[in-house]
Amino acid sequence: MNNPASPESPSETSSFADSPSPVDSYARPSDVHFAPTISRGARVRGQQSHLQNTVVMLLAGGQGERLYPLTRDRAKPSVPIGGNYRIIDFALSNCINSGLRRILVMTQYKSFSLQRHIQAAWELFNPVMGEYIDVIPPQQRNVKRWYQGTADAIFQNIYMLEQEKPAYVVVLSGDHIYKMDYSKMLDFHIEKGADLTMSCTKVPRAEAARFGIAATDADNRITAFVEKPTDPPTIPNDPDYSYSSMGVYIFSTEKLVRRVIQDVKQETEHDFGKNVIPRMVEDGDRVFAYEYEDENHSVSVPPGEVYWRDIGTIASYYEANMDLVKVAPQFDLYDDNWPIHRRSQPGPAARILSHGEDRVPVIVDSILSTGVIVSGARVERSIIGPRSFIHSWASVEDSILFDDVEVGRNCKIRRAIIDKHVKIPAGTTIGYDLEEDAKRFTVSPEGIVVVPKSMALT
Amino acid sequence: MNESPSESLILLVEDDVNQRALFEEELCDEGYRVVTAGDGREALSVAAEHKPDLVVMDVNMPVMDGLDTMARLLEANRHVPVIIHTAYASYRESFSSWSADAYIVKNSDLTELKKTVRDLLAKRSNSDEKVA
């Protein structure tokens, strides 16, 4: 996976030295030796590798209110998905598949579950080789506040960058489902001599008003960046499409540090998309759009389309799960070239039991996780989480069950998300009468019923 | 708005008694009012009491160093201009020094310090007018 940049690309330091910092000409350290150093661990072969001079800062601090009640007890990146996975596993898998092995996960709200997951699933890194994954809660070094926004989260962790002094910082969000090779984007960043590179997908211009949209010139340099524009700019030579930001950024470290310091001194929302990036573009920083190259080579994705999903709402979460269970899944978990790593659950393999002619189990288009037992029940287009048990004559359709859910005999469940440790008594019906369901559960505007974790039902 | 220098209050943070006296006198000669502190912790309480218009901050000090002190000052008032004034150039490599509006290596010739103070106060009063 290592993809060291070609020797002729500009060195880390040259792009910094060229232009005076617009932040502050006084403090511009003309005599500063801004050499990237790896503070911890040995450096592996190929000391010039840009990947080794790069730190990932993964922002996992949002409240995830729109995913409530799935986020009642956990941060959004920690929400289970696809049976065995957590949402954050996709971004982290992209990191290791891209050769990025210095990762800081910035948490804030309800971080316990996430911390545990990372400990259990992601302790894959070798400190001797300078690799690490660190989970960092707000430390309140010299500030008395929680993270006010994405840029403030970086500002409050400047000390972490100080320790490492990487040449580049990859800023990611923990709530997207996609396969991306960040090393290709890093090569692009270096080749362009960029201060900031923003990964973008093409969206039809008609839908662009919902996103952060970049206007670019022929060289892909961003000339304007606007959130939710009324008159979205289009891609040069492609008037039906616009470049939409994916919230994936690569910064040259010095520029990042200066820009977040500048932003924090002003009255803004301290958000990259709303404040920092528009300001950088206005002030003439070298900001480039990198067109997202999809590493998900599923045959079910139509040619010319890419797979990238933002898990913002119950509906988008539900759809992303359903993308995994189709006969030919949109998102390919089987591709050995881009494996998605997850926590390995101990326990026996799934079992499917029959008890005679009237209790023959029927399971189609579904994912069964470790330790599942389906006993004489019907499961269609569903994801059954680890150690869940579905009893005879029950029917589960178009649903997502988390870990340790027990579905009693004769239950009928349709279009529902059942969180962990819920015992559903025999004969219960969920998803067939939404008005009735809404009295007990959360029902999304699209009619998806969510039963919260550990809810006691009679 | 009256822009005469005497309107401006400078907090001078410097642990060395002789240097503190020298810089204080020179800044007073420029027409500023000056309050002083001998270490970071003292600087925080003086700043809270006097609300200076600008801070000149040494780095190597007992009790609390200048970089940590600056971060706390800025947390209380993110708009106050801070000049790092130290005998060492090496603190420029510390990202935490980049929150300062200027970084000046100590010199027997105080021209650069005085000019920087003047410019930063002018910049500040301009932006104050914009706000008003």
Bridge partners, residue A309, by sequence: A177
- Give the CA radius of gyration of chain B: 14
Contacts of B124 in chain A (CB under 8 A): none
**What's the average model confidence in pLDDT over A280-286?**
96
Report how far residue A136's alpha carbon sits from residue A128's, in angstroms, rounded to the nearest whole number. Answer: 21
DSSP A455: -
One-letter amino acid for residue A442 of the chain: T
Amino acid B2: pLDDT: 44
Residue pairs between chains A and B whose CB atoms are closer than 8 Å: 53
Tokens of residue A309, six digits: 């999903």
DSSP H or E segment with residue A241: strand A241-252
Residue with tokens 């409240």: A63
Tokens of residue B11, six digits: 């907090």
With CB atoms and an 8 Å threshold, state whether A32 touches B92: yes
Tokens of residue B25, six digits: 């006198």
Residue with tokens 């992209």: A94
Contacts of B100 in chain A (CB under 8 A): 27
Q: Which of B75, B99, B103 sits opposite A29 (nearest CB)?
A: B103
Residue A30 — very low, low, confident or very high, per pLDDT cuts 50/70/90?
A: very low
With CB atoms and an 8 Å threshold, state whether A31 touches B89: yes
Q: How far is CA A205 from CA A159, A237, A246, A274, in A?
A: 41, 13, 16, 20
With CB atoms and an 8 Å threshold, state whether A162 touches B97: no
Amino acid B129: pLDDT: 56
One-letter amino acid for residue B71 of the chain: A
Which strands, in side-by-side order, build the sheet including A429-430?
A: A362-364, A378-380, A395-397, A412-414, A429-430
Report how far residue A441's alpha carbon sits from residue A415's, in angstroms, rounded to the nearest whole number. Answer: 13
Q: Give which of A16, A26, A33, A165 to mutate to test B binding, by max B Cβ within 10 Å.
A: A26
Amino acid B6: pLDDT: 57
DSSP A344: P
Report how far residue A442's alpha carbon sits from residue A340's, in angstroms, rounded to the nearest whole number. Answer: 30
Mean pLDDT, chain A, integer: 88
Q: Which of B75, B96, B101 sits opposite A162 (nearest CB)?
A: B96
Neighbours of A299 (CB within 10 A): 10
Lowest-pLDDT range of A207-221, A245-259, B21-35, B116-130 = B116-130
Q: Which of A24, A158, A264 sits opposite B78 (nearest CB)?
A: A264
Residue of A nearest to B90 (CA): A32
Residue with tokens 């650069």: B112
Amino acid B5: pLDDT: 54
One-letter amino acid for residue B76 of the chain: A
Q: Angle at which helices B111-131 and B17-29 pack, to 10 degrees?
A: 60
Contacts of A264 in chain B (CB under 8 A): 78
pLDDT digits (tens, 9 = 90+) for A381-420: 999 999 999 999 999 999 999 999 999 999 999 999 999 9
pLDDT digits (tens, 9 = 90+) for A291-311: 999 999 888 888 888 999 999
Amino acid A423: pLDDT: 97
Q: How far is CA A390 from CA A12, A16, A373, A411, B108, in A?
A: 57, 60, 6, 9, 82
pLDDT digits (tens, 9 = 90+) for A70-106: 999 999 999 999 999 999 999 999 999 999 999 999 9
Q: What is the dihedral of CA A407, A411, A414, A417, to 10 degrees?
A: -30
**CA A69 to chain CA centroid, nearest Å:** 19
Q: Angle at which helices B40-50 and B66-76 pack, to 10 degrees?
A: 20
Within 8 A by CB and 6+ apart from A193, the residues are A10, A14, A15, A286
- Assign A226 to helix, strand or coil: strand
Amino acid B108: pLDDT: 87
**CA A79 to chain CA centroid, nearest Å:** 11
- Give the sign of the dihedral formed by CA A156, CA A157, CA A163, CA A169: negative
Q: Which of B74, B78, B101 sits opposite A27 (nearest CB)?
A: B101
Tokens of residue A418, six digits: 């059942």
Report how far residue A112's alpha carbon sits from residue A255's, in angstroms, rounded to the nearest whole number. Answer: 32
**CA A312 to chain CA centroid, nearest Å:** 11
Does the pLDDT of residue A48 top 50, yes or no?
A: no
DSSP H or E segment with residue A439: helix A434-440
With CB atoms and an 8 Å threshold, state whether B93 touches A29: yes
Report how far residue A26's alpha carbon sits from residue B77's, in angstroms, rounded to the nearest whole number. Answer: 20
Nearest CA-CA distance, residue A143 and chain B, Å: 6
Q: Is A360 on the interface with B (CB under 8 A)?
A: no
- Give the CA radius of gyration of chain A: 24
pLDDT digits (tens, 9 = 90+) for B50-68: 999 999 999 999 999 999 9
- Assign A257 to helix, strand or coil: helix
Does the pLDDT of residue A1 top 90, yes or no?
A: no
Q: Is A141 on the interface with B (CB under 8 A)?
A: yes
B56 within 8 A of B11, measured Cβ to Cβ: yes
Tokens of residue A148, six digits: 């006010």
Does the pLDDT of residue A22 top 80, yes or no?
A: no
DSSP A167: S
With CB atoms and an 8 Å threshold, state whether B103 touches A141: no
